[in-house]
């Protein structure tokens, strides 16, 4: 098992406090070493998570706050 796989297994995954309000359709995130962020689907925690740089995560959060991803 490589270091990243081990880190993802032991990561402190968290989801939004309002996640129960949308039927469980949520994402979980976890801070990782090297300034990375893990992202996974709460309904499929056994699938390999996405791992992005903190700058990518920060840009996504900024865009979400500004409504750039609203449908």
In angstroms, the CA 48 to CA 61 distance is 21
Give pLDDT, residue 45. Answer: 80
Per domain, the residue ranges of the chain are 3-65
Distance in Å from the first CA to the final CA of the chain: 40
pTM of the model: 0.81
pLDDT digits (tens, 9 = 90+) for 27-59: 899 999 999 999 999 888 889 999 999 999 999
pLDDT digits (tens, 9 = 90+) for 9-33: 999 999 877 666 666 678 899 999 9
Tokens read off for 53: 């740089």
Strands in 36-41's sheet, in edge-to-edge order, are 14-15, 27-32, 36-41, 50-53
In angstroms, the CA 19 to CA 5 distance is 26
For the chain, give the mean pLDDT: 90
């Amino acid at each position: 098992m490589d270091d990243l796989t081990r880190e993802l297994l032991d990561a402190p995954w968290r989801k939004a406090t309002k996640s129960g309000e949308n039927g469980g359709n949520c994402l979980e995130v976890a801070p990782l070493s090297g300034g990375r962020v893990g992202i996974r689907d709460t309904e499929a925690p056994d699938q390999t998570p996405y791992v992005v740089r903190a700058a990518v995560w920060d840009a996504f959060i900024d865009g979400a706050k500004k409504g750039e991803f609203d449908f």
